[in-house]
Amino acid sequence: MPLETILLITFGGVLTGIIGALFGIGGGVFFIPFLVLLLDIPMHQAIATSLVAVIATSSAAASVNIERRFTNIRLGVLLETATTVGAVLGGMTANILSEDVLSRLFGGLLFFVAILMASRLRQRESSTPETPPAQGGKLGASYYDPALQEEVRYDVRRVPAGLGVSFFAGNVSGLLGVGGGIIKVPAMTLLCGLPMKAAAATSNFMIGVTALASVFIYFAHGHVHAVVTGAGVVGVLGGSLLGTYLSGRLHGKLIIGLFVVILITVAIEMFLQS
C-alpha cells in the first residue's frame, strides 16, 4: 500500500478520534465514508477497520471522562448488557448483505438520527431536570460543566425503553461498524433525560465493548486489514485525546449542532455512492 494512502488513513483516523470523543459515537459515521468514498476501500473491510478504531476511541476517552464525572458508569453497564447481544447478531447479519444495501441502510439511519438530534437543540442544558423522573432515579448523577460554569444534575428516566434501544444500537454497531453511539446518544438524551455531555461520555464508555463483541466476526471472515487498521488506530488515538480535551470546553448545544451537520452530510454522500 502506498505511503500516501497510509498517511491519509492516519489523518482520517485523527478526525475520527476527535468526532468520536466529542459525540460519543465512535467516529464510524465519518471513518467508514472516508475509507469507502475517498480511498475506495471495500465496505466490509471499512466496517471492520472502523470497529477496531471504535475500541481505540473508547479506550482513549473513557478514563478522562470518568475522572471528570461526565460518565454515568452504572447506566452504561446496565445498557451495555442489551447492546452486546445486539452487536453479535448484527455482526452475523452484515456478512450476508451486499455493500450497496449496507450503504443505503447507513445513509437512512443517519438521516433519522439527525432529525432526532435536531429536535434536541430546542431543549436547554440545565442543572434542573425538565420533568420529574418517571423511573431510574437511582441512576441519576451530576457533574461540573466548565462551559456552563455550573453543576449539572439529572435523573435517568425510561430505563426499559433505553434497554430496548440499546439492543437495537448494538445490532446497528455490528451491522454497520459505527459503534452504536449514533443511536445510544440520542436515546440517552431524548428518552432517558441525560444532558448531551453525559450521554456522549457514557456512550464512549460503552462503545468499545460493543465493537469488541462483533469485530471478531469480521476478523474470521478476513475483513481486518493489518496496515489499514494499524494506520487508522494510530490516528484515532491521537484524535481521541484532542476530542476529549475539547468536549469539556464546548457548549452542549454547539456539540449537538455539529453532530447534526456531520450526520446529514455523510448520509447524502452514502446515498450518492450506493
pLDDT in single tens digits along all 274 residues of the chain: 788 889 999 998 898 888 877 777 766 667 887 888 888 888 888 888 888 887 877 777 777 888 888 999 999 889 988 888 887 777 676 667 666 776 677 778 778 778 877 776 665 544 444 444 444 457 888 898 887 888 999 999 899 998 988 888 777 766 665 667 777 888 888 889 888 889 888 988 887 777 777 788 778 888 888 898 889 888 888 888 888 888 777 777 787 788 788 778 777 876 776 6
CA 181, CA 172: separation in Å to the nearest integer? 9
Query: Could you tell me the CA-to-CA distances from 11 to 5, 38, 56, 178, 236 in Å, in that order?
Result: 10, 12, 15, 18, 9
Radius of gyration of the chain (CA): 17
Task: Map grid coordinates 451486499 to a residue.
Answer: 98
pTM of the model: 0.70
Query: Could you tell me the CA-to-CA distances from 156 to 76, 133, 136, 182, 188 in Å, in that order?
Result: 12, 7, 5, 19, 9
